[in-house]
Amino acid sequence: MSKETLERYGVVREECSREMAAGARQIFSADVGVALTGVAGPEPHGGEPPGQLWVALDAGDAHETRGFRAPGDREQVVRWAEQGALDMLRRYLQERVRS
């Protein structure tokens, strides 16, 4: 993500997750990039509460970003983030197969 985006919004934001997904796609020469950012806790970070998560997908012609609050302790929040990212990718791939 760009230094400007990080300084303007902070790391736990929709804008950062979008830029990270686009960057992952570009760096790895992939068809799809997925990224997530958030606060696993137990303490808030950058003014965001524990459990705040952002997941983004960039496929060049398709972009999706989703924010949500995950309940639980640090380990549970990390699992929510992982599952959210994998679910977003799964849904995107299912739509591509149907098209």
Give me the residue spans of the domains in the chain: 3-98
- In CATH, which of 3.30.565.10, 3.90.950.20, 3.30.70.260, 3.30.830.10 is domain 3-98? 3.90.950.20
23-76: pLDDT as tens digits: 999 999 999 999 999 999 999 998 999 999 999 999 999 999 999 999 999 999
73-97: pLDDT as tens digits: 999 999 999 999 999 999 999 998 8
Q: Report the alpha-carbon distance of residue 68 to residue 61 in Å, rounded.
A: 24
Question: What's the pLDDT score for residue 67?
Answer: 97
- Name the phi and psi angles at 74, rounded to 5: -55, -50
Q: Which residues of 90-99 are buried (b: 16+ CB within 10 A; e: fewer)?
A: eeeeeeeeee
Phi-psi region of 81 (alpha: psi -120 to 50; beta: other; left: phi over 0): alpha
Q: What is the value of pTM for the model shown?
A: 0.91
Question: What's the pLDDT score for residue 25?
Answer: 97
Question: What's the pLDDT score for residue 48?
Answer: 95
